[in-house]
Structure 1
Amino acid sequence: MTRRLIACGLLVLASVTACGTRTPENAAQTLPTASSTSSSTPSSTDPSAAPPSDNPGAAGQDVKRCDSTTLKGEVAPTDAGAGNRYGRFIVTNSGTVPCTLNGYSGFQLENASGVVPTKLERKADPGPSQMTLAPGGKAAANLHWNVVPAGGEPVEGPCQPEPSKASAIPPNETAPLSVPWTLGPVCSGGRIEISAFYAA
């Protein structure tokens, strides 16, 4: 009887010891899977993608087109000969921020009575080119006209009404700026050749 009790006690003790050794092993196997799960979700991917989209986006969108509220204009003569006249229509960015300019200007001669006949013809050289005018920056467009009467224009006196200013619309805009014109009448029905703007 005593031997049976001792044998049973030894069996119980052996089973408890065996169960105790399994529990730490199971716990040790659980820990690596938890740590491997946390390391497999890198959070560095999202932050690294965000900064590149922030930096380039803001800079390109801020520069607006040059318009009549920021541009100041003048017409400066450059050459004359054999009835031909040449000049440059010069605009200056009078604003406090840069603006872009690309293309041809509108150009309508005027005087105190209203519009003066103007036939504007675009020249391909130089052609349109994108540029950014810093505050105080300048761009110019070449002008060419003649002072020789043509067709039914009078040969004595002015061939056309004499302009005192021009209404010039910047490229891709609708509101004009006023530019003084002190270079006399434009013959051939007010025909003026104009180039696209270029950096001056």
Structure 2
Amino acid sequence: MIRVGTGRSRGFTARRLGTVFLVMVGAAVTLTACGVPLIPTLDPTDTPTALPSAAPVPTPTPTPSSVPSPEPTGGPGSPGSPGEPGAASACTTDRLSFALQERPADSGAGSFFWDLSVTNSGAVACTANGYPRVQLVSADTGQPIGAASGLEPRAAPSAVLLQPGDSAFSLLHLTRAGVYGCPLIPVTELAVTPPNTDQSSRVATPNPIDGCADPAIQLARTGAFAASPVVF
């Protein structure tokens, strides 16, 4: 038995497929005729362009002017600036020469004044700073007598830089031994000890004076070194 309905359906489907194919072919021919390529092509001369890569940043090379110089550091014994008191060490006895000068205009009945001068006799600068110590010396025995000097407050302490040949001055205030009623001893020298040292030097007095045998009696006071003699 022949099924007429089935054969008709197949034939109809075949015709529809043929029609669709013809439509697609026609569209392709039309697009080609208009200059539109169906598949994009790559020109042989075209080459892929590489993406630019980040250029390395050069590291700057330090120049001598940009490199910081190390700061000089001080240490023990480092010299100071020329002309400053801190640039020189303290004057010692072996680097000084000593002298005593009278001040008759400033002397009275019970006391009198002398200027003690110290001169830098060395080859380099040194500093005189503070109060010297003096003690009367017996002209008979050559030994110190009485009490060591106290402090004379008329001049405030200050550092005095002494270049070779320069001098500093200390005001000496002395009391006459006769006012104490003690046994008198002739004196023609003073033992002078500069500050910051233990070494003393003998200095001749401008004129003979009397000392006191009592070790508790203080006949001399010294002022701090200054660049010039004290003016009353």
TM-score of the superposed pair, with normalisation by structure 2 = 0.63
Aligned CA RMSD, in angstroms, stands at 3.0
1:10 aligns to 2:44 (yes or no)? yes
For 1:1-200, list aligned pairs within 5 A.
10=44, 14-15=47-48, 18-19=49-50, 22=51, 25-26=52-53, 29-30=55-56, 33-34=57-58, 37-38=59-60, 44-47=66-69, 50=71, 58-60=79-81, 62-79=87-104, 80-111=107-138, 113=141, 114-154=143-183, 159=184, 161-181=185-205, 182-186=207-211, 189-200=217-228
Shift of 1:105: 0.3
What is the deviation of 1:8? Answer: 8.5
> 1:3 maps to what in 2?
none
Amino acid across the alignment from 1:115: P
Whether the 8 Å CA contact 1:77–1:87 is kept in 2: the answer is yes
Cα displacement (A) at 1:82: 1.5
Counterpart residue identity of residue 96, structure 2 = L
Query: Against the structure 1 CA distance between its residues 151 and 177, is the aligned structure 2 distance closer, same or farther, given a 3 Å change threshold?
Result: closer
The DSSP-based 3-state class of the residue aligned with 1:185 is: strand
Structure 1 pair 62–147 and aligned structure 2 pair: CA distance change class (3 A): closer
CA distance in 1, matches of 2:151, 2:200: 18
TM-score scaled to structure 1, two decimals?
0.71
Distance 2:91 2:209 in 1: 29
* Per-residue deviation, 1:139: 0.8
Of all paired residues, the percent bearing the same amino acid is 23
Residue 178 of structure 1: CA displacement? 2.4
Highest RCO, 1 vs 2 (Cα 8 Å, sep ≥ 6): 1
Flag the 1:81–1:62 CA change in 2: closer, same or farther, 3 A.
closer
Q: Per-residue deviation at 1:73?
A: 0.5
Larger radius of gyration: 2
Is there any run of 5+ residues in structure 1 with no aligned partner, and where?
1-6
From the superposition, tell whether residues 66 and 148 of structure 1 become closer, same or farther in structure 2 (CA, over 3 Å): closer
1:83: how far off? Answer: 3.6
Q: Can you list the C-alpha shifts for 1:84-139, whole angstroms capped at 9, x where unaligned? A: 22111111011121111111001122246212213412022112111111111111
Name the CA distance, whole Å, in 1 between partners of 2:67 and 2:186.
70
Q: How far is 1:59 from its partner?
A: 2.6
Contact kept, 8 Å, 2:133 with 2:222, in 1: the verdict is no
Partner-residue secondary structure (3-state), 2:199:
coil
Matched position secondary structure for 2:127: strand
